[in-house]
Amino acid sequence: MSVGSAIFWGVVVVAVIYGVMLYNGLVQLKHNVAKAWANIDVALKQRHDELPKLVEVCRQYRQFEQATLQAVIEARSRVQSAREAHDVPALSRAEGALRAGLGQIFAVAEAYPELKANEHFMQLQQRISSLESLISDRRELYNESVNLNNIRIESFPDALIARLFSFKPQALLEFAEHEKADVDVRELFKP
């Protein structure tokens, strides 16, 4: 074997090894995105299971606003549908509506001391609040995983491997600006 062909085959072997390393890195990122989504899915499912209990406790108080309860029930249904369909943009919209409804439930509960003092309500409120924090943390991890994935599949030389093997960019889980704004509690108590 000549020196020239040895160099050629050496370069080919190095290129193949490098290509395999790039491919494996992209596969790992793709699976990190899927894992991050699954973690969000678990927390959303837990909250989905807790909300009917909270609504039922609130229903027991006739003074409680029926429209608020209905909004939470409808938003919960939209979150569940979007979650099952893995529709990230729809989930973002539904999550915003659900978070607003939960904010209204907790704000209106302040006006009803007997509801606010109910032990079961307090436990559910704390559980849902902790789930909200968990969902927020998991959403942050998901978006970081998506961001890393999207950067890698657009960066050279990873983009070559990504195109060759049809790696696709993923959507960030984002909320509309009005859904991120502070809640005006005084506005919630206006008739």
**What is 3-188's CATH number?**
1.20.1440.20
- Spell out a b/e string for 67-90, using b for 16 or more CB atoms within 10 Å of the CB, else e: ebbebbeebbebbbebbeeeebee
Q: Percent of the chain beyond pLDDT 90?
A: 30
- At residue 53, the pLDDT reads 75
> Which residues in the chain land under pLDDT 50?
183, 185, 188-191
Tell me how far apart the alpha carbons of residues 40 and 170 are, in angstroms, rounded to a whole number: 15
58, burial (CB in 10 Å: exposed 0-12, middle 13-18, buried 19+): buried
Tens digits of per-residue pLDDT, 147-188? 999 999 999 999 999 999 999 999 888 766 655 555 454 554
